[in-house]
Structure 1
Amino acid sequence: MKITHAYAAQDAASPLAPFDYQPRALRHHDVEIEILYCGVCHSDLHQARNEWKNTLFPVVPGHEIVGRVLAVGDHASKYRVGDLVGVGCMVDSCRTCPSCDEGLEQYCENGFTGTYNGEDRETGAITYGGYATNVVVHEDFVLKVPENLDPAGAAPLLCAGITTYSPLSHWGAGPGKKVGIVGLGGLGHMGVKIAHAMGAEVVLFTTSESKIADGKRLGADQVVISKDAEQMAAQANSFDLIVNTVAAQHDLNPFITLLKREGTLVLVGAPEHDHPSPQVFNLIFKRRAIAGSLIGGIQETQEMLDFCGKHNLVSDIELINMNQINDAYERMLKSDVKYRFVIDIDSLRQEAGA
């Protein structure tokens, strides 16, 4: 009997701890992946602590997965044993709605199946994520990771990378466009790197002066301290696009004021509590827009990985052992990481004696 070793939260108040389970048998189009690295997303913490009130316990978090193919189903044709692959935030969708037909599975009108905390469409079993030694996924939801990228640094691309790439691509970031990135965390630092590689003029907004040098190192042309009213006023009416990555409740009005006529503020950070409502006149008088964006479809995620391969972009990471995950969560709450924790899953294998 095959056993997958993992870490899970049994309830909202419990720390993550060792948890073993039996993975599903390989279906015709499945790929079994030996997980090498898994990024730690703020969403993992939200789910483990049931802050979004939808967690299905026990929960095995992790949706920034990079590993190598161990086995494939008898009808699977997209990957071979040994391929370097990734799995992001979803492992299935209805495949029949208009969004799925357009390759926008993340907006599946019948709800995509999350890599963890989801329900298998065939059996109803709860899906378990990447804080584990192995995962079994339908080949259509597996991505090819460029071999030239460091696999540990590539893991966060499967969420942080695509979450910022998708709005930057959709709203046309590139030469001649002025793009703002709000926040320099796991998402924001990738937003700066990607927008810079796209050729846009990039301005980072942060509340921390200690991040000025890092912001410029990562590709920002300017760094603005967002709590400094004078610095903010100097940027008024000048942005085509601002991508807001901050996952905490805050006032959006200061950023809306920075948009040009017909500029867009895109929210990708997912706070526990909603932002206060913005001032309507700030929108009306410049035909400005506030929008949201959720990860990306499978085709766009592959496009993002290929883009990062071409430009040699990976996340700035701190590699941790599996048994450090609870401390990592506490540090993440304090923004004490530059800029993404990634779990070395070999440490889990060693701990489990696998």
Structure 2
Amino acid sequence: MAKTTPNHTQAVSGWAALDSSGKITPYIFNRRHEITGIVVEVGSNVTYFKTGDKVGVGCMSASCLQCEFCKNSEENYCDKVQFTYNGVLWDGSITYGGYSKMLVADYRFVVAVPENLPMDRAAPLLCAGVTVFCPMKDNNLIGSPRQNIGVIGLGGLGHLAIKFSKAFGHHVTVISTSLSKENEAKTKLGADDFIVSTNAEQMKSRHRTLDFILDTVSANHSLGPYLELLKVKGTFVIVGAPDKPMDLPSFPLIFGKRTVKGSMIGSIKETQEMLDICGKYNIMCDIEIVTPDRINEAYDRIEKNDIKYRFVIDIAGQSSKI
């Protein structure tokens, strides 16, 4: 069914689902907020983009544009920020994410995709990429002397954290509960070291060896054992959603001079900066392409942790290698 609003000049069509038997069944929709495509029309006030440009829309679709955060290019901290899914825009329309063949977006929340990045592998960078990029930038890991970086978790966020860290010239140690991921971390992604977090001897042997640790794990877990891997003045950053569940250490003296921070996505300016750096270093997300009729199958595989490392839905029906 087409959905239009007074400020939109295009009708955007979406759908529920049609399985192989012809029966209409609802999809198990997830966030669907990392979207790439080609500009087909621009408004009269738009000068930065033109028809034919490769662009993307990430987590945010609107903000107040008036508060201190918006004026300081920190829209992700705006109290009135609206997301690309389940958000409410200025004209009252609801945002539904990327499940349509066309998306109408505010140009201030659109970013340019570098020409050398394929749009399918660039799409997850708009959330997962900027999520791990920002704490690295904020902690001066871009252009700094070689440091020892720890990445907890080898998934959608973790594998990109490894790629950024290696591109910036750092020594990377992956910390995981799964020994089976060691070969992939080292051989495919270029990690320098690997620690099985449940192996007490391995954890002890790396005591106070890391300058910086990026925690990308979404599951509930204690930080205490990982903090022991940090140098005395090291920095530990937890990335992801602000309500990400975890157990803080019950013995605060373990922090010493260590710094523990939290980080969530990034601003539009930071997202563009991140994409430009990805274009420079040829950093892309490892993905699997699925078509709309396989969304539920993909969702089931995500629940089983059977994905390396992101599903990208090809709405147009053919993978975009542009």
Q: 2:151 aligns with which of 175, 178, 181?
A: 181
Q: How many residues align?
A: 302
Counterparts of 1:274 and 1:258, CA distance in 2: 21
Q: Secondary structure at the match of 1:346?
A: coil
Alignment-derived partner of residue 215 in structure 1 = 185
- Paired residue for 1:195? 165
1:307 paired residue number = 277
Does 2:48 correspond to 1:67?
no
Residue 282 in structure 1 maps to residue 254 in structure 2: yes
| TM-score (normalised: structure 2) | 0.87
Question: Is the Cα contact below 8 Å between 1:23 and 1:136 reproduced in 2?
Answer: no
Shift in CA distance, 288/23, structure 1 to aligned 2, threshold 3 Å: farther
SS of 1:290's equivalent? strand
Alignment gaps of 5+ in structure 2: 15-26
In 2: Cα distance, 1:158 partner to 1:31 partner: 24
| Contact residue 3 and residue 12 of structure 2 kept, 8 A | no
Match of 1:77 in 2: 47
- Are 1:95 and 2:65 matched, yes or no? yes
Residue among 108, 111, 115 paired with 2:80: 111
Distance 1:32 1:302 in 2: 28
Aligned-pair RMSD on alpha carbons? 2.4
How many angstroms apart in 1 are the aligned matches of 2:118 and 2:6?
30
- The one-letter code of the counterpart of 2:3 is Q
> 1:340 aligned to 302, 305, 310, which one?
310
| Per-residue Cα deviation, 1:66-121 (whole angstroms, up to 9, x for no partner) | 1000111122111111100011100111112222122111111x23110111111x
Cα distance, 1:182 vs structure 2: 0.8
Counterpart secondary structure, 1:135? coil
Q: TM-score by structure 1 length?
A: 0.80
Question: For residues 273 and 296 of structure 1, what CA distance do their matches in structure 2 show?
Answer: 17
User: Do the aligned partners of 1:63 and 1:116 also contact (CA within 8 Å) in 2?
Assistant: yes
- Following superposition, which runs of at least 4 residues in structure 1 exceed 3 angstroms of deviation? 23-27, 30-35, 269-273
| Alignment of 1:159 onto 2:127 | yes
Tell me the percent identity: 44
1:264 aligns with 2:235: yes
Cα distance in 2, alignment partners of residues 326 and 271 from structure 1: 27
* 2:194 aligned counterpart, secondary structure: strand
State how far apart, in whole Å, the 1-side matches of 2:119 and 2:230 are. Answer: 37
Shift of 1:272: 7.1
Query: CA 1:240–1:208 in structure 2 vs 1: closer, same or farther (change >3 Å)?
Result: same
CA contact (8 A) 2:4 2:11 kept: no
Confirm or deny that 1:248 pairs with 2:219.
yes
Give the equivalent residue in structure 2 for 1:5: none
**Matched residue SS, 2:214:** strand
Q: Alpha-carbon deviations, 1:230-282, whole Å to 9, x = none?
A: 11111111222111111111111111111112222111144976212213111
- Whole-Å Cα distance in 1 between the matches of residues 13 and 108 of structure 2? 17
Give the whole-Å Cα distance in 2 for the aligned partners of 1:296 and 1:274.
Answer: 20
The correspondence of residues 216-235 of structure 1 with structure 2, limited to 5 A, is: 216=186, 217-235=188-206
Q: Could you tell me which runs of 5 or more consecutive residues in structure 1 were left unpaired when the two chains were aligned.
A: 1-19, 36-47, 50-58, 349-354
User: What secondary structure does 1:299 align onto?
Assistant: helix
Q: Secondary structure at the match of 2:103?
A: strand
Partner of 2:37: helix, strand, or coil? Answer: strand
Structure 2 counterpart of 1:100, one-letter code:
C
State the AA in 2 paired with 1:132.
S
